Structure 1
Amino acid sequence: MAKYFDVHPDNPQARTISNVADRIRSGALVAYPTDSCFALGCQMGNRDGISRIRSIRNLDDRHHFTLVCQDFSQLGQFVHIDKDVFRAIKASTPGSYTFILPATKDVPRALPHPKKKTVGVRIPDHTVTQALLAEIGEPLLSSTLLLPGEDEPMTQGWEIKERLDHVVDAVVDSGDCGTEPTTVIDFSDGEAQIVRRGAGDTARFE
């Protein structure tokens, strides 16, 4: 049964954030809020967590997982970025964007796209997510909490707890965080390709 954590949206309780982080380090799969919508997240090397996300969302091995990073310096450890792409991404973070880029050797083998060797990265503009990332000290491997056959992600923590009680280990709730997922920009070939139009403005990438 999933543990439910009620977190203040503007002043996250340090003890609660620490408790959630400890669970993640111990192998937990959590549902947590971001600046676009709820996500499923676990540690990067958590193979069981990855498998459970695939099962919950009915994903194949071509799905791009996202490394949700605390800041740009952390993001730069896990993807290769040239100068032009660096400027474009830097100007758009933190925010509701996911960028697909070539993965570095620091990314666990199970994560990159099997053919392209790419991975998604993002830096969220969300107080609770940032507090959790700071406590963990590394990115969260994540995927949008969008269930098979549904058009929009769930927005209420209590509903997530109710519906996913036996398939996730914890639910972090800090209030409604919207239904629109991130805008996804593929920079793997050096040029911006809009893969999905979402919460982030695409004007600078057109």
Structure 2
Amino acid sequence: MSKIIKIYEDNPNPKEINKVVEVLRKGGLVIYPTDTVYGLGCDITKTKALEKIAQLKGVKLEKANFSFICSDLSNLSDYVRQIDTSTYKILKRALPGPYTFILPGNNNLPKVFKKKKTVGIRIPDNNIAREIVSQLGNPIVSTSIYDEDSLIEYTTDPELIFEKWGNIVDLVIDGGYGDNVASTVIDVSEGYPEVIREGKGDIDFL
């Protein structure tokens, strides 16, 4: 039976964070807040959970463009090839923040993503998301929660998210109202920044 738990972003309760981490370690799916829209995520090492998310999105796992949620830039070299100084400076300026950076993937990517040349990296400016990843010890693979309603692209109310997704996922985190604007996507995989989608993140710093 799915649960909804309240976690406060200002001061995430370690016990509650631990409950989320346990669900992820068992291969569960979790809906959690970010600094943009609510995300649906799982542990990057759990292939069955990854397959389930791909199925929910109606895409083949190998072709899915999921983001990797990291807690800080120190995890980057786990899945990303060496990047140059100017690219690193861009990441340093923007993160944590409402951006997804597309970077060149390396050979440590999980088997299911081996064919992908690039990966989308997110370090949200949200204590709940970053604490979960930090305690888990590896990234969460994530995708945004869309709404079928053509007028509201993203559901912002965690109670409504739970009503809709409660029988599909294992846990919904109520971290307060979410935003309804997705992250700005910037491709830096070729060594220079190219804006793929303008979202919540300002691009003036580029």
**TM-score where L is the length of structure 2:** 0.91
* Displacement of 1:147: 4.4
Find the partner of 1:98 among 78, 97, 100. 100
CA distance in 1, matches of 2:63, 2:203: 24
* Displacement of 1:149: 6.6
Count, aligned residues = 203
* Displacement of 1:76: 2.8
Deviation string, structure 1 residues 53-111 (Cα, Å, up to 9, x no partner) = 22222234433211110011112321122222111111111100001111112211213
Pick the structure with more helix per residue. Answer: 2
User: Measured at CA, do residues 138 and 125 of structure 1 come closer, stay the same or move farther in structure 2, by a change above 3 Å?
Assistant: same
145-154 vs 87-96, which moves further: 145-154
Gaps in structure 1 of 5+ consecutive residues: none
Please tell me whether the aligned partners of residues 34 and 124 of structure 1 are also in contact (alpha carbons under 8 angstroms): yes
CA distance in 1, matches of 2:47, 2:167: 18
Q: Which amino acid aligns with 2:93?
A: A
Partner of 2:87: 85
Matches for 1:97-136 after TM superposition, within 5 Å: 97-111=99-113, 114=115, 117-136=117-136
CA distance in 1, matches of 2:33, 2:113: 22
Task: State the superposition RMSD in angstroms.
Answer: 1.7
Partner of 1:23: 23
Deviation string, structure 1 residues 94-146 (Cα, Å, up to 9, x no partner) = 1000011111122112136x4x5111001111111122122112111111112
- Paired residue secondary structure (1:77): helix
CA distance in 2, matches of 1:182, 1:45: 24
55-64 vs 5-14, which moves further: 55-64
**TM-score where L is the length of structure 1:** 0.91
CA distance in 1, matches of 2:148, 2:113: 21
Partner of 1:49: 49
